[in-house]
Amino acid sequence: MASSSPSSAPKIEQLLRLARQGPLRARDLDAAAIPRAYLARLVSAGQLEKAGRGLYRLPDFEPTELHSLAEVSARVPEGIVCLLSALQVHGLTTEAPHAVWLMIDSRARTPRIDTPAIEIVRAHGTAHDHGVERRRIEGVNVRLTTGANTVADCFRYRRHVGLDVALAALRDFLGQRGRSLDALVAAAHADRVYSVVRPYLEALV
């Protein structure tokens, strides 16, 4: 453990408390009035490890199957996990996507992330804002499309994910206990794809 002066010890302990809550971004230290230089000191001391560009975590951290979602959300907090990645979270697919699917505002700058791989779609207005929930994954606040909105998005972005994926998601959603047709219809209207979804919905219900 690196030696620390009496004046630096409280800052180090405060930083480690933050790290116990989940991955840390360098900019998280600014809000806590902790100099960023402490990150390098704790990495050198083995008390923290660098998990990616500008991202740090405790060495004994054990990732879950949704680790990539937490990592991307920590680095792009304004992004919304969507499409194939959201299907996985909601149990609407058995396949793990090859990348984290992220929705960002049409005017937002494209995130610069080398790993994990990401797939970006853009939206604005109700298509972007409707049907977003928050979940805590590995200590990170993750913005995520709801189950109903994820299905509607699959139809909206069917050229990206394939109509077969959208239809499978719709069937799985309708087969889930507690699913809401009203929520699905509202999501389809928000995405302006209700005319596309309606014939399949009428055939399956």
Task: For residue 26, tell me if it sits in a domain.
Answer: yes
This prediction has a pTM of 0.78
Q: How many domains does the chain have?
A: 2
User: In this structure, what are the phi and psi dihedrals at residue 203, rounded to the nearest 5 degrees?
Assistant: -75, -25
Same domain flag for 143 and 43: no
Per the structure, the complete domain to which residue 197 belongs is given by: 67-204
Same domain flag for 38 and 82: no
Q: Please confirm whether the linkage preceding 116 is cis (ω < 30° from 0).
A: yes
Dihedral sign for Cα atoms in the order 18, 23, 26, 31: negative
Each residue's pLDDT tens digit, 13-67: 888 888 877 778 777 788 778 888 888 888 888 888 887 777 788 887 777 788 8
Each residue's pLDDT tens digit, 102-149: 999 999 999 988 888 999 999 999 999 999 999 998 888 999 999 999
Same domain flag for 144 and 186: yes
